[in-house]
Amino acid sequence: MISLSFKHIFVGAHASEFEASLKAAVSNAFFAAGFPEVMHFDRSEIFSGFLGKFEKIALQHRLVVLIDDWDYPLSQSFGDQDAFALITATLRSFYVWLGEMPNLRFVLVTGTMHYRETATVLEGISFQDLSMDPDVAALLGYTQEEMETVFASYIGLAAHRQAISTEALLHKLKLLYGGLCFDEDAAVKLYCPYSVNHFFAAVTSQSKEPYFGYYWKCSANTKAALEAYLQQYPLEHEELLQLVQHKFTLSYEELNLAPLCGPVSFKVLLVQAGYFALQDIVADSEVELAPQERSYNCVVPNHEVGKEFDLLLERYLMGYNAKKWLSTESVGIGSSPSLR
């Protein structure tokens, strides 16, 4: 199994730095999987030639390739159009190589965000998008049942140390860390595992007091990219009103197809980044059997994410584009309890 995390690949100021870091990451991943010979591959070769040397290994073994945070280098360079374009070109070469590698058993690529420019990265490569697949809806979070069974002993201990009932503790956990949902049936609601794990980490400690902290901001790597997007693509007035109210509607096509086939709206990016989640299917589209015919109500999933989203929105409202709107018409900030 070859495991790569793009979060640890150095982006750098030049394409050559990112390419060199990607070469090193690929070599280290193969080395960790039991192929020491890769450390002798000449990294000064052109990118395609260097990657081609790994095909001999692929011919002799059925490889499983796991790639996490595939979009992280793009998010880190989104505010620099030249750097973004160069990194996109390098990633395109990488995925062409991966798509053509012989004898692969399975490839799983995970990440957070698509951008309008990245449709070409996977262009021509056969893959299945599982982003809204109900069969894997619970893969990256804790369900209510898991919270109440797997963490049963922790919940009891935490409630005792907080001097509240287990029901009250579960209610607080849901308000703070629950509500995540991304499947096309809008049925599976999840808790953020990063936040839940951090909360319970202090429960068994004698020196730490468990508290309801805001942990999600440390696990998400999308704020800089969203702010850079807003600098390039100002919000329309109606869209800004919807964001202040913490609720908007998106179609299945917007959520699932637009990232691969055309421009992406800021609202779609907010769902991809986890700032908004699917609450339910819009009533007049729920009778449709095909998911492609549905529309979804999207909301900020919990208090923890809401706090970070309000900070993001407030920074935008204090900028040049917000001043343009506020000089002509109020956007009703005072009507939103979360922005008081």
336: burial class by Cβ within 10 Å (0-12, 13-18, 19+)? Answer: middle
236/318 Cα distance (integer angstroms): 16
Q: What is the per-residue pLDDT for 115?
A: 65
**Mean pLDDT of the region 272-278:** 92
pLDDT at 263: 58
pLDDT at 338: 39
The mean-pLDDT minimum among 28-32, 65-69, 84-88, 248-252 falls in: 84-88
Average pLDDT of the residues in 167-177: 96
From CA 308, how far away is CA 322, in angstroms rounded?
18
- Out of 128-137, 189-198, 204-213, pick the least confident: 204-213
Reading the block at residue 32, the tokens are 């960790």
Q: How far apart are CA 137 and CA 186, in angstroms?
A: 9
Q: What pLDDT shows up at residue 62?
A: 94
| Band (149; pLDDT cuts 50, 70, 90) | very high
Residue 30 has pLDDT above 90, yes or no: yes
pLDDT at residue 327, rounded to an integer: 54
User: Where is pLDDT greater, at 165 or 236?
Assistant: 165
Can you tell me whether residue 94 is helix, strand or coil? helix
Q: What is the pLDDT of residue 113?
A: 77
What confidence category does residue 221 fall into, taking pLDDT thresholds of 50, 70 and 90? low
Distance between CA atoms of residues 122 and 111, nearest Å: 14
- Rounded alpha-carbon distances, angstroms, from residue 311 to 142, 288, 338: 26, 37, 10
Mean pLDDT is highest, among 31-35, 102-106, 113-117, 136-140, for 31-35
- Average pLDDT, rounded, for the chain: 84
The pTM of the full predicted model, rounded to 2 decimals, is 0.80
Of residues 202 and 336, more confidently modeled: 202
pLDDT at 336 over 60: no
**Cβ-based neighbours of 63, under 8 Å, separated by 6 or more:** 1, 2, 57, 101, 103, 104, 105
261: pLDDT strictly greater than 60: no
pLDDT of residue 54 exceeding 90: yes
266-284 average pLDDT score? 90
